[in-house]
Structure 1
Amino acid sequence: KFKQQVGEEEEDGNLWIGYCAFHLGDYKRALEEYEALTKQPTCNPDVWVNLACTYFFLGMYTQAEQAALKAPKSGLQNRLLFHLAHKFSDEKKLMSSHQNLQDVTEDQLSLASIHYMRSHYQEAIDIYKRILLDNREYLALNVYVALCYYKLDYYDVSQEVLAVYLQQVPDSTIALNLKACNHFRLFNGKAAEAELKNLTDSASSSFEFGKELIKHNLVVFRGGEGALQVLPPLVDVIPEARLNLVIYYLQQDDVQEAYNLIKDLEPTAPQEYILKGVVNAALGQEMGSRDHLKIAQQFFQLVGESASECDTIPGRQCMSSCFFLLRQFPNVLIYLNSIKSYFYNNDTFNFNYAQAKAAMGNFSEAEEVFLLIQSEKIKSDFVYLSWLARCYIMNKKPQLAWKLYLKMETSADSFNLLQLIANDCYKMRQFYYSAKAFDVLERLDSNPEYWEGKRGACVGVFQMILAGREAKETLREVLHLLKSTGNSQVEYIVRVMKKWAKENRVPV
C-alpha cells in the first residue's frame, strides 16, 4: 500500500493486499481488491478462486459458486465447492466434490470440517487425530478435537485436549471461549463467566466475530439476561443465537414468539429437532391443537430412535416425551427411570416423573416426587396442584388436598380443583371433605348435581360415624352444611340425624 501511495507499482501488489486483508478477516476490503483485479484484461485466472473464498466468508454463497466455477480446477476450488454443496444441502454435488478429495492435509481438514457440521463428530476426531500423529506442530487441531468432544458431551475430555493448545497460546479467543463453555457444562454460569472475563477486555478489532460470540455466550451463562438486546442481531450470524432466543421466549412463556422464530427452521442437528418438538408441544398444549402435539411427538421420536442419540440422555428424554404425548406411561417410566440419577434436583424432570408415576397409580411415590419440587412457578401451576391433590386423596390425606384449595384465590382453576376434591374424596369414601367441597360448589353454581353430591357425602359421613370410623363431633358440621341448602329433602335427612344424635347423647 505504501509503494502504491508513493507511485511505485509493485507487480501483484493488489493481489498481496487482497491476500493480507482476507487473512486479517477484513473480507470487504479483500472483496474490493479481488473484484477490481477480475475486471483487468490481464487478470490471473487464480484470482477467481480467491474472490470466491471471499464471497463465501461474507455469506454470499451464490456469488461464491459462480466465481469458483470461473476458476481453473484446483484443490482449493474443489474444497470450496465441497463446502458450498453443504451450504446448499446439495447431496449430489457434495458427493461429487467428496470423490475429488485427495489424501493431502488441506483436503482431509476440509472433510473433517464437513463431518463436524453434519454432526459426525467421531469421524472428524479420527481425521484430526490421524493428522496430529504426523504433524504434532499443528497445535490448533487440538482445539478442533476439543470442539468435537464438547459436542459429544465429553466436557472433561474436551478440557484436557484444549489445555495442550492453551499452554502454547494462552490468549486464544476461540480456545478460551470453548474452555468457558466446558466450565458452563461442568459447573455453572458463574464459573464460565469468570473464564470469559479476560477475553471481554482483550478481544481486538480483528476478532469482531470473537466479540459477538462472547456477547452471545455471556447471555447464555447469565441465564438469558440481556437476551433481547444481544441475540436478535446475531440470529443469522451465530447459528445457536436463534435457538437460544427461542429458549429465552419459552422461559418467558411467550410460546407464540418462540414458534414464529423456529417454524421456518429446517432442523438438521438433534438440538434443533428437540427444540422444534418442545415448541410444538408447548403451543399444542396452549392452543389445544392436536396437530402441533402430533408434530412434537414425531420430532421427539425421530431423535430418540436415531442411532446417534438413542443412548444419550437427551435421546432418552425425547423418547419419554414422545410416550408422554402418546399417554403410554409405562414406557415413559422406563426411559425416565434410566436417567433419573442425573436429574435428582431438577424440578422439570421431577414434575414429569411424578405425573407419570401418578398416571400409573403409584400415588405414594408420586407424592414424594411432587414434594421435591422447589420452583414456585411449577407449584402454582394447576396441573401440579390437581395432581398433588389427587395424590393426597389417594394416599388418605384429604385434609392436605383441602389446604391446597384454601390457599388458592377464587378462579376457574380453584373451581376445577374443588370438583376434583369433591369427586375423588367421594370415590375414596372420604365423605367429610367431599361434603365440604360439594357445599362450596353448590353455593357457586346451582347445578342440582352438586346438591346430590353433597347429600350423598353427608349421608356417607353419617354412615362412617355409625360405623365408628369418623368422630361423632363431625355430625354438628354435617348438619350445618345440610341446613345451608334450601332443598325439601334436607328436613327429612336432618330429622333422622338429630334423632340418632339424641338417642346417643351426641351434642349437635
Structure 2
Amino acid sequence: MMLSRAKPATGPAASSPAKDSSKKKKKLPKLEDYLTNRDYTGAITLLEFNRSSGKGSEEVDMWIAYCAFHLGEYKRAMEEFQSMSKRDGCHPDVWVNLACCNFFLGMYKESDEAAQKSPKSRLQNRLLFHLSHKFNDEKRLMHYHQNLQDIIEDQLSLASIHYLRSHYQEAIDIYKRILLDNRDYLALNVYVALCYYKLDYYDVSQEVLAVYLQHYPDSAIAINLKACNHFRLYNGKAAEQELKTLQEMASPSFTFAKELIKHNLVVFRGGEGALQVLPPLIDVIPEARLNLVIYYLRQDDVSEAYNLIKDLEPTTPQEYILKGVVNAALGQETGSREHLKIAQQYFQLVGGSASECDTIPGRQCMASCFFLLKQFEDVLIYFNSIKSYFYNDDTFNFNYTQAKAAVGNFKEAEEVALLVQNEKLKNDYTYLSWLARIYIMNNKARLAWELYLKMETSGESFSLLQLIANDCYKMGQFYYAAKAFDVLERLDPNPEYWEGKRGACVGVFQQIIAGREPRDTVREIVQLLRNTSNPQVEYITRTIKKWAKDNRISLS
C-alpha cells in the first residue's frame, strides 16, 4: 500500500488530467501484478520471455513451475521440478514441490519417493499424511496425524482428510473454527459450501458460496459448485447456464478447471457426449468412472457398466451404492443369485451405517436391500419415509408400485403406478405385468385386457396373456379369463388352455344367469367355445342354447 504521495491529489500543484495523461509512460506489467490477478498464463509468458532473453535463473524456473502448477498443468510443473532436481545443489524445496506435482498427477508412489528425499517440513508431513490415506495405510496415517500441529495449514489438511472420508460435519467444524479468527480467509467458504453440498444442503451451500463469489465472481471452482447446486435444486439447463457465464468471462482460472467443467457438462446434459468426454477423464476425475457407469446403466448396457466398476474398491457411500446397483442389475438380467446377494450386502452396508442411516440415499439403500430379500413390508417402511421427496420420480414410483402390490395394497398401488410418465418404463414388461395384475385385483379386468391389446405379438405378450387369464379366473372375472384362454389356445393347443377356457366360459354363463353379466355376452361365449374342436364343446353349447331359447335370446 502507498503510505505517501509524490504529488497532492488536488490543488495547484496537481497536473490537469489532459496534461498528466500525456506525460504518463506506458507501464509494463510486473510478475507481482499477474500473480495478484491470478493470471498465471500471463505470468508464465513473462517468465519465459525473461528466460529466453538470458535473464533465466533458478528463481525464474521455480516461478514457472509454480504458475504451471496453479494452472493445473501438473505435468509441465513436474518436468520443470525434475529438471531442477538434476542440478548440483538444487534448492531443497524442489523435492517436496516435485512430490506435490506427482501427487496431483496420481503418481502416488513417485510422490512418496520424492517426498522422502526432501528435508523434514510441515508441507512434507502434510503430503505424507495424504499419501498414507491414498495407500489406505491406517498406521502410517496416524503417525503423520500425530505430527500435525494446531496451525492453519495443518488443520486444513486434517479437514481435507475428513472430507475425503465423508466426515463432512467434522470438516465443517474445522473450517468454521478457522473462519472465526480469520474472516479474510474467504476461500474457506468454498470448502464449507462443498461440504454442505455433499450433505445435500444445497440451499445452505449456495448461501455460504455467495460470500466468496461477491469477492471473486470469476472463480472457476466456485462457479462450478454453484452450477452443481443449481443442478440439484433445479435442472441441468440452469446448471449449464452458470458454466456458460464462466466461459464468457474468459476467467484466468478457467484453464485450471477445464476438465472438471467438461465432465460436469456431460452430467448436466443427461449423459450427452459421455463416450467422448468421460473415458479420458477416468483416472483424472474420480466421478468420471462413476458417471460413465451410470451412462451405461441408462443405456441398458449392464455388462459394460459391470466391467468398468468390478475392480473398483469402494470407499465412499456413492461408490458402494453404485456397485450395489450394478450387481443388482446384472443379477436380475442373468438370474445370478450371487450378484443379487452382493448387491444386497452393499445396500445393507450403506443403509446401516451411522453416517448414512438417516439420509435419503441411506433409506433408499435399506429399501433396496429388503426389496432384494422380498421383505416388502420393510421396504414400505423406508419408502413411506421418503416418498414426499420423490413424488415425480418415475423410477421411485415404479418400485413403490411393486412394493404396494406385493403386500396386497392394490388400490394405492394403482394410484402410484399411474404417476409413472416415462415411456420406456411404461413399456417395460415388469411394469405392464404389475399394472395388469393391479387392475385385475381392483376388478378392472377390461383395462388389463387393453394393455395386452396394445402390445405387439411377442414372448412378453404371451406371458402377459397367461397372467391375465389366470388372475382373472382366480378373481372370478371370467369373461376376460375366457377371452385370454381362447387366444392362448389358438397360439398353443395346450389342453390346459382348453380346460381354463371351458371353466371360464361356464363361469361367465353362471354370472349371466345370476344377472352379474349382460345377457348379450352369451353369444360371444358360444363363439369362443366353437373355436375349439373338442367333444365337450357340443354338450356345453347345447345347454347354453337351451337356456338362450327359453329366455328368447338370439345366438345368431
TM range (shorter): over 0.9
Residue 209 of structure 1, CA deviation: 3.9
Distance, in Å, in 2 between the alignment partners of 1:215 and 1:181 is 13
Instruction: Tell me, yes or no, if structure 1 residue 467 matches structure 2 residue 484.
Output: no
Which of 311, 320, 327 pairs up with 1:273? 320
Query: Aligned letter for 1:230?
Result: V
Report SS of the residue matched to 2:456.
coil
2:259 to 185, 194, 212: 212
Cα-to-partner distance string for 1:349-400 (whole Å, 9 max, x where unaligned): 1111111111111111111111111111111111111111111111111111
Does residue 262 of structure 1 match 2:345?
no
Paired amino acid for 1:43: C
Mapping for residues 211-230 of structure 1, pairs under 5 Å: 211-230=258-277
Which amino acid in 2 is paired with 1:30?
A
| Change beyond 3 A, Cα 1:372–1:361 | same
Shift of 1:312: 0.7
CA contact (8 A) 2:470 2:481 kept: yes
Rounded to whole Å, the distance in 1 between the matches of 2:528 and 2:504 is 11
Whichever of the two has the greater Rg, that structure is: 2
2:416 is the counterpart of 1:391:
no
Structure 2: distance between partners of 1:238 and 1:24: 16
Closer/same/farther in 2, CA of residues 501 and 387 from structure 1, 3 Å limit: same
**One of 145, 152, 158 as aligned partner of 2:192:** 145
| Correspondence for 1:55 | 102
Distance 1:151 1:192 in 2: 17
What's 1:315 paired with? Answer: 362
- Counterparts of 1:395 and 1:6, CA distance in 2: 87
C-alpha displacement at 1:27, in angstroms? 3.1
From 507, 531, 537, the counterpart of 1:484: 531
1:425 aligns with 2:472: yes
Matched, 1:195 2:242: yes
Whichever residue aligns with residue 547 of structure 2, its letter is: W
Task: Give the residue type in structure 2 aligned to 1:486.
Answer: S
Say whether residues 1:43 and 2:90 are aligned partners: yes
Percentage of pairs with the same residue: 78
Structure 2 gaps of 5+ residues are 1-47
Aligned to 1:365: 412
Q: For residues 132-182 of structure 1, what are the alpha-carbon distances to aligned partners after superposition, in whole Å with 9 as ceiling and x for unaligned?
A: 111111111111111111111111111111111111111111111111111
Residues 20-62 of structure 1: CA deviation (Å, up to 9, x unaligned): 5444544334333332333333234343222222222222211
* Cα distance in structure 1, aligned partners of 2:411 and 2:53: 88
Structure 2 Cα separation of the partners of residues 133 and 17 of structure 1: 35
Select the residue among 82, 85, 88 that pairs with 2:129: 82
Native 8 Å contact 2:192 2:205 kept in 1 = yes
Please state whether the residue corresponding to 2:378 is helix, strand or coil.
helix
Task: Give the aligned length.
Answer: 508
Alignment partners' CA distance in 2, 1:11 and 1:465: 102
Deviations 1:471-500 (A, max 9, x none): 221111111111111111111111111122
Aligned mates of 1:472, 1:11 — CA distance in 2: 103
Q: Does the 8 A contact of 1:3 with 1:10 survive in 2?
A: no
> What TM-score results when the alignment is normalised by the length of structure 2?
0.88
SS at match of 1:242: helix
Quick one: which of 407, 412, 422 aligns to 2:459? 412
For 2:226, the equivalent position in structure 1 comes to: 179
2:399 alignment partner AA = N
Contact 1:351–1:384 (CA under 8 A) maintained in structure 2: yes
Partners of 1:420 and 1:77 in 2: CA distance: 68
Distance 1:450 1:53, change over 3 A: same
User: Structure 1 stretch 339-348 or stretch 42-51: which is displaced more?
Assistant: 42-51
Cα distance change, pair 168–489 in 1 and its aligned pair in 2 (3 A):
same
Q: Displacement of 1:315 after TM fit?
A: 0.8
Superposed displacement of residue 197, structure 1: 1.0
Q: Report the 3-state secondary structure (helix = DSSP H, G, I; strand = E; otherwise coil) of the residue aligned with 1:31.
A: helix
For 2:458, give the aligned amino acid.
S
Residue 194 (structure 1) shift: 1.3
Change (3 A) 1:19 1:416: closer
Name the CA distance, whole Å, in 1 between partners of 2:260 and 2:137.
Answer: 28
Q: Choose from 274, 280, 283 the match for 2:330.
A: 283
Structure 2 counterpart of 1:245, from 281, 287, 292: 292
Counterpart of 1:374, as a letter, is: Q
Equivalent AA in structure 1 for residue 389 of structure 2 = Y
Segment drifting more, 47-56 vs 225-234: 47-56
Shift of 1:4: 5.2
**Are 2:376 and 1:329 aligned?**
yes
CA distance in structure 1 between the partners assigned to 2:484 and 2:408 by the alignment: 23
**Which amino acid in the other structure matches residue 360 of structure 2?**
I
Q: Secondary structure at the match of 2:112?
A: helix
**Which consecutive unaligned segments of at least 5 residues does structure 1 have?**
none
Question: Is the alpha carbon distance of 1:497 and 1:27 closer, same or farther for their aligned partners in structure 2, counting shifts above 3 Å?
Answer: closer
CA-atom RMSD, angstroms? 1.7
- Distance (Å, rounded) in 2 between the aligned partners of 1:13 and 1:384: 67
Equivalence for 2:138: 91
In 2, Cα distance between the equivalents of 1:219 and 1:4? 40
Task: State whether residues 108 and 131 of structure 2, in contact with CA within 8 Å, keep that contact through their aligned partners in structure 1.
Answer: yes
How far off is 1:12 after superposition? Answer: 5.0
What is the TM-score normalised by the length of structure 1? 0.96
Task: Give me the whole-angstrom Cα distance separating, in 2, the residues matched to 1:410 and 1:180.
Answer: 47
Say if 2:409 is the partner of 1:378. Answer: no
Shift of 1:456: 0.8
Match status 1:495 vs 2:542: yes
Q: Does the 8 Å contact 1:25/1:206 carry over to 2?
A: no
Give the equivalent residue in structure 2 for 1:120.
Answer: 167
- Cα 1:495/1:311, change in 2 over 3 Å: same
Q: Distance in 1 between matches of 2:49 and 2:407?
A: 80
Which of residues 134, 159, 165 in structure 1 aligns to 2:181? Answer: 134
Decide whether aligned partners of structure 1 residues 141 and 495 sit closer, same or farther in structure 2, where only a CA change above 3 A counts: same
Between 1:465-474 and 1:58-67, the stretch displaced more is 465-474
Is this contact kept in 2: 1:203–1:211, CA < 8 A?
no
| 1:73 to 2:120 alignment | yes
Aligned with 1:171: secondary structure?
Answer: coil
Q: Per-residue displacement from partner, 1:418-455 (whole Å, max 9, x unpaired)?
A: 11111111111111111111111110001100111111
Following TM superposition, by how much is the alpha carbon of 1:279 offset from its aligned partner in structure 2, in angstroms? Answer: 1.0
Q: Deviations over 1:218-262 (max 9, x none)?
A: 111111111112111111111111111111111111111111111
- Is 1:203–1:210's contact at 8 Å kept on the other side of the alignment? no
Distance in 2 between residues matched to 1:380 and 1:489, nearest whole Å: 39
Structure 1 residues 501 and 60: CA distance shift in structure 2, 3 A: same
SS at match of 1:426: helix
Partners of 1:313 and 1:397 lie apart in 2 by 35
Alignment of 1:339 with 2:386, yes or no, is yes
The runs of at least 4 aligned residues of structure 1 exceeding 6 Å deviation read: none
Task: For 1:33, give the aligned amino acid.
Answer: E
